[in-house]
Structure 1
Amino acid sequence: MNILLSIVLFCLINLHKSIFAFVPSGRAEHNAVLIDKRLYFHGGWGGVYYAPDQLFYLDVSKSFIIYFMPWTNLSSTSGVTCRTGATACADETTIYYIGGYHCGDLVSKFDTISLQWSEPTTSGSIPGEEIKWVQCVILGHKIYVNGGFKMNILDTSNLFWSTSSLIYNKTQFYSATLLNDSILYIGGEFSTLDSCQANSNQETTSGEIPTRKCHHASVYIPQHNRILLFYGYNDNTINSLDTLTFTWTIPVILNSGGPRRSLEAHTATLIGAYVLIAFGYYLTNDGHRVTSPDTFLIDVSHKDSYKWLTMNDYHNLINNLTPQNKKEHLYRD
């Protein structure tokens, strides 16, 4: 059976390569940002060096079978820099990449209309080395980046940095979600995995509370008022937080699928009624990390039960875009 499965996988991989000219390599610590009909990926660590393909996108307007994805490589775009462990936020059609380990400046930006890459000059209270493995959120034209003991704020209208005091002091590997005019931080750590926690700042939660959560990915589903946390360090669990009652649950998964090992430093992106989980590190049985080339798609249209998509499922994701990208939506309770 294992030999047959290996033969099938080998044939599928080679068929994939023959259909699509570009297939991304494995990576972790990358960024994924959805704008209009394209999910842009940038950066990442390839295992021993920066991942070789630093800028590409997935066209979610095209029908595809999971594992056979319509990728487009933009890594040859003039000025593209290498970056890993950074954060990224979109202001309208421009993506700002901030911090991490990089071979350019602290801030890079990519115009998704002109496909122009640049490294703008910023001023003000420019942050230092604390901007690694962090998350940003954008409100108006201001990007908020939690650096631990202070909030770093980049005004994209004038590229000016300012700071404010911060109570939540987890410095890395947390998730950040914008809820109205507030930011909810979940999990994270100081500098060692021993300090990995699941607490949200200033909120008392109940239910099936995760004992620890860091190196995870998260999405917010506004129709269901839920934040979903996907996996993390030494963790193969999906957790759900109701943002109205702050109650934790573990959702029902109706079929088998998804990563079979602990996954960390990956991305999760809500695209209509689906979440695309991409790349990351697998934690092996002997405690080593290996980069993953895998993507997984899960249907989250129902409030309390989800379903993995399989190779037999054809999908055109653009028809189910979320209200942030399209006025109508097709979610159901």
Structure 2
Amino acid sequence: MMHEFITVKGRKMKIIKLNIEYFIYLLIFSQLRIISIYSFQSPEIYGHSTVSIDKKLYFIGGYEHTTKDNSSFFYIDLNQSFNVSTPAYIPLESAPVGITYATACVGGVNNATIFVFGGINQDKNSKSQIMNKLINEFDTTSQEWSTPQIEGEPIRRRGLQAVIDTKGNMYMFGGFYDFVNMNTTFFKDMIIFNTITFAYSNGSTIDGPPRMYGYTATLLPNGIIMYIGGVSATIIPIINITMYDINKNSWSSTIAESPNDIQNRGFHSAVLAPNGIIICYGGTSLDYYAASPSLIVLNTTSFEWRSPEHFGMNKPPNLYTHSANLVENYMIIGFGNITASDSYPLSTSSSIYILDINNYTWISYYEALPVPPPPNVSPPPNVSPPPNVPDQPKPPLSVGAIVGITIGVAIVMVLLLFFRIRYYRNRSPNFYVSGSQK
């Protein structure tokens, strides 16, 4: 507000002018900021990393097909319901470097920090590759990125997948890297990074698998990491299951049973269902053609592969270098390259897809589970239970659309108020005179 003075009966009186314009500008700016969040365009990315914390699914880096950018960073709030075709992405401040083909886990003292290891890191300005500082971390509490300098870092690599145990140890096997002015280097070591002490160590390689990349790694509750598929000198057979015991620091392997129609694959995805089934999706066979069938599952007790029948209109295309995360009973597939059974990659996806693993149905609407009531709180008496809700309700508008319309109406109302106030101010500019008698 502004202050002016006038003299009334020999006394200097203060006039208070309310600068409504500044308030209006601030309000409009804040509304536009909210609109920018809900109008965030879904990128066409592949080679990105993902983690899930408190039902927020974070997407980190990846190569953007249209803009050639590699600094995407956003999340989906899975506490909110949405149409799968139009989720409300929330953009965040990107990492200090561009990141592609990295691997990420959630760890740290409070289990609230995202640790992103390796991959291709690029300086945002010069686009030159960064060879040191393999760890980038994002604190989900302070919403800040940092790139710590850690002693004993291994050689940079990509094409590997990390898992993390309950003690904060990330386990990362193999991978490869295309070094500048050097031949491609392939690795067969087990790197262990402790996200609490920031110390590196190495696991055993005795009886371990050959150099490989593009595989999936799944940590079972008993401490066994199961490695499936990937690429070595050629595509690794899907029946060759390699296992690393984190408790005994030892390797073993087995041969799984599989129908003849399940093809070998690399650059696929995998999640562990609560019943001990590993669900894999997508991937490529030789020459980057789509691996068939796209959805396969492994029984981790009997070591048998099968391809379950899956349903729904929202089935994803054949994908590789995509992501997959399990949140409750939903497998969420994100982005990746689209390919076919007889051709190289056709395009890049800008969508997510959700599989209900209870009945292998691709759903078109994600309905968030209600937040449970606080403990020791009983429901009010004589209240009828809510009516049954259809499995896949289809509201006419998405969350983003509803928010956008609401904000648009709010801006119109604010503008009307703004011009109305200006009109009356021009007629009587002094809103209030301190100490005056009306």
State the TM-score bracket (shorter-chain normalisation).
0.7 to 0.9
Please tell me whether the aligned partners of residues 44 and 50 of structure 1 are also in contact (alpha carbons under 8 angstroms): no
Aligned position for 2:348 = 291
Aligned position for 1:158 = 197
Give unmatched runs, 5+ long, in structure 1. 1-16, 321-333
CA shift at 1:44, angstroms? 0.3
For residue 137 of structure 2, the aligned residue among 78, 86, 109 is 109
Q: Does 1:200 align with 2:241?
A: yes
SS in structure 1 of the partner of residue 281 of structure 2: strand
Distance 1:66 1:306 in 2: 16
Q: Does 1:218 align with 2:218?
A: no
Root-mean-square deviation (Å)? 2.3
SS in structure 2 of the partner of residue 88 of structure 1: strand
Letter paired with 1:137: V
Distance 1:266 1:20 in 2: 24
Distance 1:120 1:161 in 2: 13
Larger radius of gyration: 2
For residue 39 of structure 1, the aligned residue among 33, 57, 60 is 57
Q: 1:319 to 1:295 in 2, by over 3 A?
A: farther
CA shift at 1:169, angstroms? 2.0
Q: 1:29 to 1:319 in 2, by over 3 A?
A: farther
Aligned position for 2:39 = 21
Q: Does 1:143 align with 2:170?
A: yes
CA shift at 1:314, angstroms? 4.9
CA shift at 1:283, angstroms? 1.7
Structure 1 runs of 4+ aligned residues shifted over 2 Å read 17-20, 47-53, 194-197, 207-211, 254-257, 317-320
Distance 1:232 1:154 in 2: 28
For residue 213 of structure 2, the aligned residue among 172, 175, 178 is 172
Structure with a larger share of its residues in strand: 1
Q: Deviations over 1:261-303 (max 9, x none)?
A: x2100001111111110100012564245221011111112xx
Structure with a larger share of its residues in helix: 2
CA shift at 1:25, angstroms? 0.8
Identity of aligned residues (%): 30
SS in structure 2 of the partner of residue 163 of structure 1: strand
- TM-score by length of structure 2 reads 0.62
Q: Does 1:62 align with 2:80?
A: yes
Please tell me whether the aligned partners of residues 121 and 159 of structure 1 are also in contact (alpha carbons under 8 angstroms): no
Please tell me whether the aligned partners of residues 48 and 63 of structure 2 are also in contact (alpha carbons under 8 angstroms): yes
CA shift at 1:255, angstroms? 3.2
- TM-score by length of structure 1 reads 0.81
Distance 2:369 2:209 in 1: 36
Give unmatched runs, 5+ long, in structure 2. 1-34, 123-129, 175-186, 243-252, 285-289, 373-438
SS in structure 2 of the partner of residue 252 of structure 1: coil
Distance 1:239 1:318 in 2: 31
Please tell me whether the aligned partners of residues 161 and 217 of structure 2 are also in contact (alpha carbons under 8 angstroms): yes
CA shift at 1:65, angstroms? 1.2
Distance 1:19 1:82 in 2: 21
